[in-house]
Homo-oligomer: A and B are copies of this chain.
Amino acid sequence: MKYSFKNDYAEGAHPKVLEALLQTNKDQQSGYGLDDYSLAAKAIIKQKINNPKSTVDFVSGGTQANLIAISSFLRPHESVVAAATGHIFTNESGAIESTGHKVHAVETENGKIRPEDIQTVIEGHQNKPHQVKQKLVYISNSTEVGTIYLKDELRNLYDYCQRNNLYLFVDGARLGHALTAETNNLTLEDFGKYTDAFYLGGTKNGALIGEAIVINNENLQEDFGFHLKQKGALLAKGRLLGIQFQELLKDDLYFDLAKHANQQAMKIKKAFREISHDFLTETFTNQIFPMLSHSQIEQLSQNFDFYVWKKLDQDQAAIRIITSWATEDYVVEQFINEIKNLK
């Protein structure tokens, strides 16, 4: 079977995570997130973001995190502004609209939203109450095209949102990868400070399942548990989520794994660069999008699996290569060898 660079969730969990599940298996624990492990994991996260007033809740996946957070924050007439590449706009089967809220898509150059993009949407919706009211800005970090927000960018967005009575919510399915990218200058603490809420992804970074929803804005915290339950996200054995996050975060395993994934991607990026290939976006995380000729793509797919991301013209397309915590050195070396042999 070919080795797959199609996604970062092809394997199970990091061995330490499984080991923790084994070690704790026979303990009797309270259900629904009130187990000792979940409580401990929540405390660790609150400490790491240095915001004791934040709340933390665990859910099983990213779409679930997005739909529950957003639908609990908004009133029925309020809408969301997102990049056209945003996961909620394109790849969650209308989950946000299914909870009743419109998502406005903003075309971007690199998957990142700027205050002026939001401003344009707001200015185009001044015929009240005939046009929906924008209330939440959704960004992803790292984005769906592998890019990351810098400190100034996040702060400017948050300031803009504060001034315009908007919530800023960050989809952090790959927040670990963003925070460990070589160009990054943000910290987890900044996300406790410059967002109303965000989630920290486990599924794509060493866990079997699990995302941690962090709500910083105290006005948005009330009764959040009801929303988890009502949307089917409150696991009876919430320990499954708590144990994993505790293990990933207690000694920074989470960040080590993300850094590893990034480094593997950067090695591959360098190999492509050396044979002078261009990229769809310039990324420093675990996703790269080299532009190749169709015959090169054909050649590479003999032994490796990946997505053809975007057809560029008759000759060329961009492919997507994703690495993960589980991508081993020898595989990367094999792949680099094949890249070197590309005509």
Residues of A at under 8 Å CB distance from B? 1, 3-4, 7, 9-13, 15, 18, 21-22, 24-32, 59-68, 71-72, 75-77, 79, 90-95, 97-103, 127-133, 203-204, 208-209, 223, 225-237, 239-240, 326
A129 B228 Cβ-Cβ under 8 A = yes
- Please tell me how many copies of the chain the complex holds: 4
CB A263 to nearest CB in B, in angstroms, measures 20
Which one of B22, B209, B232 lies within 8 Å of A64 (CB-CB)? Answer: B232
CB A120 to nearest CB in B, in angstroms, measures 14
Residues of B within 8 A of A131 (CB): 90-91, 93
Which one of B10, B61, B133, B225 lies within 8 Å of A223 (CB-CB)? Answer: B133
Residues of B within 8 A of A28 (CB): 1, 3-4, 10-11
Given contacts A13-B25, A29-B10, A68-B232, contact A94 B79 (CB under 8 A): yes
B223 A129 Cβ-Cβ under 8 A = yes
CB A136 to nearest CB in B, in angstroms, measures 13
Which one of B71, B129, B240 lies within 8 Å of A226 (CB-CB)? Answer: B129
Residues of B within 8 A of A9 (CB): 31, 236-237
Of chain B, the residue at the smallest CB distance from A226 is: B77
B90 A76 Cβ-Cβ under 8 A = no
Of chain B, the residue at the smallest CB distance from A307 is: B127
Which one of B60, B62, B90, B236 lies within 8 Å of A203 (CB-CB)? Answer: B236
B21 A25 Cβ-Cβ under 8 A = no
A229 B90 Cβ-Cβ under 8 A = no
Residues of B within 8 A of A30 (CB): 10
Of chain B, the residue at the smallest CB distance from A91 is: B130
Residues of B within 8 A of A63 (CB): 229, 232, 234
CB A127 to nearest CB in B, in angstroms, measures 7
- Of A29, A67, A223, chain B has the most CB atoms within 10 Å of the CB of A223
B233 A64 Cβ-Cβ under 8 A = yes
Residues of B within 8 A of A223 (CB): 75, 77, 129, 133
Q: Give CA–CA (A103, B232) in the complex, Å.
A: 17
CB A26 to nearest CB in B, in angstroms, measures 6
